[in-house]
Amino acid sequence: MSQNSMRLVWLYPDLLSTYGDQGNTLVVERRARQRGLDVARVDVRSDQQIPTSGDIYLIGGGEDRPQRLAAERLRRDGGLSRAVANGAIVFSVCAGYQILGHEFVNDLGERQEGLGLLDVISTRGEGARCVGDVLGDLDDRLGLPPLTGFENHQGVTHLGPTARPLARVRFGNGNGTGDGTEGAWNDTVFGTYMHGPVLARNPLIADLLIKLSLDVNALPPVDDRWYEALRNERIAAATQPA
């Protein structure tokens, strides 16, 4: 990829875009264009082959049956795994996050094999569903401000030894394990339970994806007033006493 262009791939909008997670793709695309990048965006439906030449791949959340179908087709296609092996960046949310792990529990109550791109295993929680705003501190190595998002999941995700927690929650459930972790990441692959869409609430994570794809340490500044207003409003609403 040249320093002036970017190939952005939005995976399976027909199966995994239940909670507005397509907004993450819109945010990355807009922030790349604001930096003068020529963005080629490809929306890949589940009956289409996944291109392996993308720079950033995004995958969202969905219901249990579409998640099972998406996992089956992603494994059969193999394109996303090949792209990651070539250095591509992946950002996944909720059902998409679980699919990137080693296994999850599908709508049939069966353990289903994932892509193994993250060292995590997801099970079905037995307690109350995790719903509500979350605030957490992102991994120090990412050098980013606090994470804000909205969770809505029954899954519980356990991190293996090579997966780093994306964040540590101040309040909310995150991975649902009770250890305060939220999401996971390793090198160029990221997963989170946060909706929102999460990159609209956390635009600097979108910038991180762009920097990784360009292999640069910094990007030209842009006007973040509207993003900051949204962040401040959601954080204030979540932290104020009931």
CATH code, domain with 231: 3.40.50.880
Axis crossing angle, helix 22-34 with helix 203-214, rounded to the nearest 10: 60
In contact, 45 and 28? CB cutoff 8 Å? no
In this prediction, residue 242 carries a pLDDT of 60
Q: pLDDT: is 17 or 155 the higher one?
A: 155
**Is the confidence at residue 204, as pLDDT, over 90?**
yes
Using CA atoms, how far apart are residues 56 and 90, in angstroms rounded to an integer?
6
Question: Around Cβ 117, how many Cβ atoms within 10 Å?
Answer: 22
In this prediction, residue 4 carries a pLDDT of 87
Average pLDDT over every residue of 70-98: 97
In contact, 197 and 168? CB cutoff 8 Å? no
Beta bridge pairs of residue 133: 150
φ, ψ of residue 194 in degrees (nearest 5)? -80, 130
Tokens of 62: 């969905």
Omega within 30 of 0 (cis) for the link into 197: yes
Confidence of residue 78 (pLDDT cuts 50, 70, 90): very high
* 181-182 and 167-171 beta bridge pairing: antiparallel
What phi-psi label fits residue 149: left (phi over 0), alpha (psi between -120 and 50 degrees) or beta?
beta
Average pLDDT over every residue of 64-68: 96
Distances (CA, A) of 65 to 30, 110, 112: 31, 12, 12
Range of the domain at 170: 5-239
Tokens of 153: 């999941």
pTM above 0.75, yes or no: yes
In this prediction, residue 23 carries a pLDDT of 95
Residues of the chain above pLDDT 70, percent: 98
At 178-199, the pLDDT tens digits run 999 999 999 999 999 999 899 9
In this prediction, residue 17 carries a pLDDT of 85
In this prediction, residue 2 carries a pLDDT of 52
Average pLDDT over every residue of 24-36: 97
Average pLDDT over every residue of 126-140: 93
In this prediction, residue 167 carries a pLDDT of 98
Q: Report the domain count for the chain.
A: 1
